[in-house]
Chain A
């Protein structure tokens, strides 16, 4: 101990004593803790995003069978004379496929049965095509046909020959057909437009579920949020920042705003349920109610951003206007507000992004647990008809029993994150572009 206390005074500057070495080790250790914390946090971020992308990407593609099918004129004429026309086309197609993949080793009827499970009834589509385009007869025509979700799961490896239980959806024989089609190069992947633009599907049809309707629901909700919360927030901020006298009433408003910012979102859901649905009888599950609730939630965010933007406008600008005989209102609306606009806009976009991802309040006002099947058929019904919203749709899918929906939920998250990311990027660009230093 005496050594340690004496050494700094006595030893050479370049000599390390044991105590300093210990202190330096402690220093390194402490620094390592900090670095570790950051590495852990960033690793978690990476894990989160790889999980999202890996699990969600398949939702954007679907597996299709693409076959260059040739129908001869005699075949067409013969088929049109049959009583069960589509069945005939099914058989013709199955025969064509059977020849193409097995050189006759597989029975045509068996292949037809398999194809019906893998691709659904294709005869109708084929017949419609040739009746509409008789010129395509005798030449190869590329047909792109969607596969059933079970077949897709087999191709993705979610179902294997070992785990397959024969059912009316898929049998072991079908797997042979699939394998042979795969070897023949008929199986391709294509962009899943159903997922991007479609509506939600029933609980047993994950393949047919799409997020399009929920995107529209979110869009209408964001419109409500924007129209309600932006003017109210800006007006409230102007009052608090420019006009409010210093008194208990102003303090009360300020305390209220800061507390609202910290109220759990679920409580806003309760508010929405009690006030907008129970009391005001607005339609349940509708974007207008969701939008109003989210608008109230977003209000503090926009108010805080707007006040910061107003504060950043130097008082000399107000003085200049007042000194010329502008009234206070004129000074604010002619000079201060336009100068604060970029900051307000940025805050608004960030507030909207927050609102877009918010889920909990939507659960309480009934935007989950049903099947949002239809696009709204007009502007008014867009606001008032029951609809889902992106996060609510994701939750609905995540809570369904069929694991096929999980992939859709992850896919939905990717879309949601793309929206959020673009909104934030716009906000950053706006801030960079219009930032004014005084």
Chain B
């Protein structure tokens, strides 16, 4: 943990910062996977993490909602604050953090239950609905946000696993937004999908930006360029460059970034 003076020194004094990370290091047993990374995630914006495989972008993403806690050998140091509150502090319940920072995974992973049960699971465990009607309302709203409502409204009690790959992923997004998170983390959400489904998801991300800050890890530079306002480039565990998406793609300051986006490394 960094002490407060260093923290203040490094803190960008911007009001619209949702999550700010300072001096984050991650170790898998003896492997140093993330090396001293500083990032500010801004509110109501899409931030994308790009970089070659194994550069640590997914690992870093998982730090933001403490999913790395579930891996025994993984150790995280450094300071990550959400709205100024240290998320790794002892008094923070990781479970509540994850309700505020939702996550969508690489492979669509709906529960082998009905569509309705998939979406209502989060609200149920967080006690968000008092009545069945309220729950129905949440489910409908979330499915609409996930741009899935029209396709599934007649078969809410059909199994979620019966949907197509793209629909499953949108179901997972609807499921994640049902808990009313403030930040939505997406770990390569389109890598298992075909181009049409990918386009639908990208469209959805743009809409989600109205209500959430979205952080997306992607392999596709085109996708990063299309959907995000800010981009971070990771390489070998280092954050090489972070800035406005347009600037990163048109006028990178670091030579490694340039090599990557022009396809010479990665």
B111 touches A323 (CB 8 A): no
Stretch of B65-73, B219-227, B251-259 that contacts chain A: B65-73
Chain A residue contacts of B122, Cβ below 8 A:
324-326
A319 touches B98 (CB 8 A): no
Does residue A73 face the partner (Cβ distance < 8 Å to B)? no
Stretch of B6-14, B41-49, B77-85, B99-107 that contacts chain A: B99-107
Known: A317-B109, A317-B111, A436-B112. A323 touches B103 (CB 8 A): yes
Does residue B179 face the partner (Cβ distance < 8 Å to A)? yes
Chain B residue contacts of A330, Cβ below 8 A:
125
Does residue B31 face the partner (Cβ distance < 8 Å to A)? no
B121 touches A334 (CB 8 A): yes
A323 touches B95 (CB 8 A): no
Q: How many residues of A contact B (CB 8 A)?
A: 21
Interface hub of A320, A321, A436 (most chain B Cβ within 10 A): A320
**Bound-complex Cα distance A317 to B125 (A):** 16
Known: A316-B109, A317-B109, A339-B112. A323 touches B125 (CB 8 A): no
Known: A325-B125, A334-B121. A320 touches B112 (CB 8 A): no
Does residue B145 face the partner (Cβ distance < 8 Å to A)? no
Which residues in window 144-164 of B have CB below 8 A to A?
none
Chain B, residues 153-191, CB within 8 Å of chain A (1/0): the string is: 000000000000000000010011001000000000000
B102 touches A322 (CB 8 A): no
**A437 to nearest B CB, angstroms?**
11
B111 touches A320 (CB 8 A): yes
**B211 to nearest A CB, angstroms?**
17
Does residue A163 face the partner (Cβ distance < 8 Å to B)? no
**A59 to nearest B CB, angstroms?**
48
Known: A246-B72, A327-B95. A322 touches B67 (CB 8 A): yes
Which residues in window 297-316 of A have CB below 8 A to B?
314, 316
Does residue A140 face the partner (Cβ distance < 8 Å to B)? no
**A247 to nearest B CB, angstroms?**
10
Does residue B96 face the partner (Cβ distance < 8 Å to A)? yes
Known: A316-B105, A326-B95. A321 touches B121 (CB 8 A): yes
Does residue A231 face the partner (Cβ distance < 8 Å to B)? no
**Bound-complex Cα distance A322 to B175 (A):** 12
Chain A residue contacts of B32, Cβ below 8 A:
none
**Bound-complex Cα distance A324 to B99 (A):** 6
B95 touches A325 (CB 8 A): yes
The contact of A323 among B65, B96, B110, B126, by CB within 8 Å, is B65
Chain A residue contacts of B99, Cβ below 8 A:
324-325
Chain A residue contacts of B109, Cβ below 8 A:
314, 316-317, 319-320
B70 touches A323 (CB 8 A): no
Does residue A400 face the partner (Cβ distance < 8 Å to B)? no
Chain B residue contacts of A120, Cβ below 8 A:
none
Output the nearest chain B residue to A316 by Cβ-Cβ distance.
B109
Known: A317-B109, A320-B111. A325 touches B126 (CB 8 A): yes
Chain B residue contacts of A323, Cβ below 8 A:
65, 67, 98, 102-105, 176
Output the nearest chain A residue to B93 by Cβ-Cβ distance.
A327
The contact of B172 among A320, A326, A436, by CB within 8 Å, is A320
Chain B residue contacts of A320, Cβ below 8 A:
105, 109-111, 172, 175
**Bound-complex Cα distance A173 to B51 (A):** 104
B70 touches A328 (CB 8 A): yes
Does residue A245 face the partner (Cβ distance < 8 Å to B)? yes
**Bound-complex Cα distance A435 to B179 (A):** 32
- A-to-B contact residues, CB < 8 Å: 245-246, 314, 316-328, 330, 334-335, 339, 436
- B-to-A contact residues, CB < 8 Å: 65, 67, 70, 72, 95-100, 102-105, 107, 109-112, 121-122, 125-126, 172, 175-176, 179
Enumerate 25 A-B pairs (CB-CB under 8 Å) in ascending A order: A246-B72, A316-B109, A319-B105, A320-B109, A320-B110, A320-B172, A320-B175, A323-B98, A323-B104, A323-B105, A324-B99, A324-B102, A324-B121, A324-B122, A324-B125, A324-B179, A325-B100, A325-B122, A325-B125, A325-B126, A326-B121, A326-B122, A326-B125, A330-B125, A335-B111
Additional 16 contacts, C-beta under 8 A, given A314-B109, A322-B67, A323-B176? A317-B112, A319-B67, A322-B98, A323-B65, A323-B67, A323-B98, A323-B105, A324-B99, A324-B121, A324-B175, A324-B176, A324-B179, A325-B100, A325-B125, A326-B121, A326-B125
